[in-house]
Structure 1
Amino acid sequence: FVLSNNTALNSLLSKLLQDCLEQTNSSAPSPVRSVSNNLEIIYVLLLIGLFGFFTVGVMLTNIRSRRREDSHDPYNTYIATDIWYKKDREYFQAKLIENYKLCCVFENQLAVEQPSMQIPEAKSS
């Protein structure tokens, strides 16, 4: 009785395995998958290419603009002169002196520290 059950189980499992293999080896779904995979790869490569093109464009634009800054452009030469630094420093010093002259301090005689008087301490209860 055990032997017949075992052979029936083996034949059932082998038949299921053959059916599964036949379904996976059928020619209909296979080309659809390969075309789909090829389109996915092309899409990913297209996105990477566009991103790379954009990145290279930004880098080249940045390099080109930095080269222009280092050239003898009258605008950059005008800004790079030391005259404005000296004028700014002189203006700052003049403003500082003007503010110092306008400064006025009022002293409250009642709020000034008086070392001869003892400050009362709070008693802890």
Structure 2
Amino acid sequence: MNELKKEREEFNKKKARIQMADQQYKDAFDDELKGFKERVQLRAREKLEEAVKEIEESLQKCFESRDLEMLKEVIATIPEEEARYHMKRCVDSGLWVPDAKAAEQGAQEASSETSGAE
């Protein structure tokens, strides 16, 4: 009987060590995940700032005011290749989302499907 008690105590000690190690692993993982998210957000801001700095001032005003008609007018005055270059940079940086309403609707549908599954 005494041997069984020792085995149980040893098992409980090992279990406690494993749980502690799991918590340490979880804490380290959470720290790394937080750092990764911060780096991604920082890079996204930097990429956006780079795109804004490199586009013409007239385009900057369009994006700042969110005036689609003004944007169309300005794009029409720029050589096509240059306009494509600037618009691609704006899309790549997240400054401009083509067909934003459809993208927003899709995101809302995905969100409602995810929350409904829980």
Q: TM-score scaled to structure 2, two decimals? A: 0.42
Greater relative CO (CA pairs within 8 A, separation 6+): 2
More helix by share: 2
